[in-house]
A and B are shown apart, each in its own frame.
Chain A
Amino acid sequence: SAVISQKPSRDICQRGTSLTIQCQVDSQVTMMFWYRQQPGQSLTLIATANQGSEATYESGFVIDKFPISRPNLTFSTLTVSNMSPEDSSIYLCSASTGDHQGYTFGSGTRLTVV
């Protein structure tokens, strides 16, 4: 299965600023996803990162707040814009090769907004 590297692993940011999280996969994958995991909670899908086209956002998440790029089949970024303390969470990148081998996750980015 694919190996995912995510960075930064953690960051503390000032409110009103933006942070870009990078996700690098060691092989080409068909699907890439971004999740948020709030403290003590399960994973919530933010969006599907589509290669060569705009990301597909889930209800409650918008492109202006969480712009996503996916320039090729191995890389994606998620930006958390105009941050507030409510954005403090773990952000996780996930990928699938689409061959029924399941979905792999990165180790996550632990974001604290102060």
Chain B
Amino acid sequence: AQSVTQLGSHVSVSEGALVLLRCNYSSSVPPYLFWYVQYPNQRLQLLLKYTSAATLVKGINGFEAEFKKSETSFHLTKPSAHMSDAAEYFCAVSASNSGGYQKVTFGTGTKLQVIP
């Protein structure tokens, strides 16, 4: 079984401030981890993904996330928020299930508001 917990359904930051969106996962097998973003009126798109190559993963638009196995976390960060970062962010975990295929489980999402 696998699950994802995103702490904070809404996060507000000032423009230029650090963005930190939290994600903790649970998986009985080594997982792959993803962050997806949904900008207003747009479809879900991949922001970045962890595939066991490197624990610090860089994505689009200056975002990055660090896989910490000991903490079962995959928090998303950006040093300086921009107004265009306002969106909903979803953490997801992918792991092999008993049927042998990769099942993807999404978190409940965090809406990021950027205050000018």
A and B physically associate: no
Interface of B toward A, CB cutoff 8 Å:
none
